[in-house]
Structure 1
């Protein structure tokens, strides 16, 4: 008999698949809301290793794979790679040699449980926001475990409006292994069940110091510091987190992560509702120096995207993937008027223009256009004049 498994909510799958990658030695290196934008596993310091683990998490989420199946498929791979058991590892932050726990059945269970629960919770939050006109209330359900946390049990049955600030800090999941959830309710449902809309409880906070960064935060009781971030994400802050993490990553990791982000759901979501700046490409060190830039990351700002949509509506979402190829392979022209770099990629038929900020702390795409456009003709004239000047330049 064929076992039929329920299909996962598409919002949960979409949420997980929009993530990029982030390398971190300690679980606090990729912190709080950064998890909404990047997939990470502490001490998995190689991108291909992260990709393999992520592929199995994706399969578990999409196909309903059980924890036993997840462990059975992933364990031999991790063992063959040597990422298993306790081993001496160098902490890149401190330089100290520490005995680190790599793969184990317990760690795989945490990876499986945390990623699936948070994906389902974020997917549900997207549905809650889409349907809050019909279901304007949420009920906290904290009775889903044999040994529920006392703080979470105290909130069981609490009914509040969807937009109550309480949910931004307490909407599950808020602890490792937490099985709490929220249930959307309509006014009619509440009336039928004899339930009343309550008031958000006063929740005490405690000081928490992230030993990796020194940051001090006030964390609500009943919330693990790692889960102290609002559901749904804040696009501007997530984009900022992406930029910060990619700037700190080794060049091969940064390039691969950017390609994954730009070619995936993360960029599509940002493109649809832009906020802040999205990492788009990565410069070789020599190019960054030529621009006078202190960063090798090329980003697309929401203002430039708005300009692109006005002035170059023919450029589609998928075409932004050509920016990296233009930077890597295109003929370079330094525009003396404003210091921008123009890349002409004849074969693909695109012109890409990037420019560093005055401080050099940022590099941004200022234009992506096709060679057939009027602006591109000016770029090609610059290219022609430069080649002519090169021929007239005396040789030694």
Structure 2
């Protein structure tokens, strides 16, 4: 990168909270010495893309190009870049910067940066031109600091690896942090993009895995994903039968739900980990369910950069892939409608070659 000039890019953007995504031409920042320029090949479609663009969380900004499950090929590197070179296959996940100097960042836990991490889209780009916003992966290219780029391992399927950068790391990080291993019993609550990855990863770590689902129709699918057992959470008898059995609950449900029955399914010293819900717990947690069994209610957010590389390597080693349905960028609005209805198993991935049409 000899000349630091902004580069033209094209993608699909939300221009407000209510209209469909539409094509948009914009600029990527002038690359810095530590930057990697990437030609985007694939981008996963996450529920967060929809929520942010629809301003469901009240923090929407426009225009915004969503997408934080990015797989691409390096086209150029800055003079200070040491880990990557032109032609390398790489990934970019949910964050593209942080303060880099607080305790969390020094510990490789950039997602807990004390000054707040920079999201891949919709965040003020501290190093951008003209103080603009970061723009995500529903586009043809991206420029990212080397620290926030990961390497795609040899042999990994690039298309199905894209969601590992969000759904994969979101479920892998708490399983690793809490030490899930052979002999542990893990319950996975919910059978969507996060849940099906949670099953595969917990199984690969050696755990005995049970899926908790509200739907009788998902029993066969849960078994196909590798679950040892399936519990219909709306069946009081089935829930009573598993009381006090589990070491961990990985709770991937993104909407309010009663966690008390799941706490009751934990052993003493069991841990219930929230990775999907950002709203207040409703109904309230009964203190009895925690105090009388020394149970822990915990939360976990994506993963730091070292751990994001680790989960990619782990998935490549164990042959773990995300179940994906490929789409063209021109069909993104229809895909979002289907995603809202739960009509996808389990992640849409955009083939960015379609953007050239």
Determine if the TM-score, normalized by the shorter chain, exceeds 0.5. Answer: no
Q: Greater share of helix residues, 1 or 2?
A: 1
Q: TM-score, normalised by structure 2?
A: 0.25
Q: Whose RCO is larger (CA < 8 A, sep 6+)?
A: 2
**Larger Cα-atom Rg:** 1
Please give the TM-score of this superposition, normalised by the length of structure 1.
0.23
Between structures 1 and 2, the one with greater strand share:
2
